[in-house]
Amino acid sequence: MKGGVYLDAEAPHLVRQYFALVQATRGKRKRFPENCVEVVTSAEEALARALPEHNLHAAEVVGPSRSSEGFRLYYLLRWLSE
């Protein structure tokens, strides 16, 4: 289990790990709706495009996973700038 989401080895195309830019105030929040997450190709790209002063942070996430309310969510694995 990663970040509250089970990874299924038989269906890796459903929920995967990604590097991303997350538009959010950093804090205790561990999940983000997909409209706050931009998947990028690498950790280096995420770090290069991050703008912490505008709450745009480089991260490694797992998702998307559908919530009980029907939203597609990404779960934070780690912030890349720590």
Q: How do the domains of the chain map onto residue ranges?
A: 16-79
Question: Can you say whether the dihedral through the CA atoms of 6, 35, 67, 4 is positive or negative?
Answer: positive
pLDDT per residue as tens, the chain (82 positions): 444 555 555 555 667 899 999 999 888 889 999 999 999 999 999 999 999 999 999 999 999 988 888 889 999 999 998 7
Give the number of other CB atoms < 10 A from CB of residue 9.
Answer: 5
Tell me the pTM.
Answer: 0.81
Distance CA 9, CA 14 (A): 10
For the chain, the C-alpha Rg in angstroms (whole number) is 12
Say whether 13 sits in a helix, a strand or coil: coil
**Tokens matching residue 31:** 């999940």
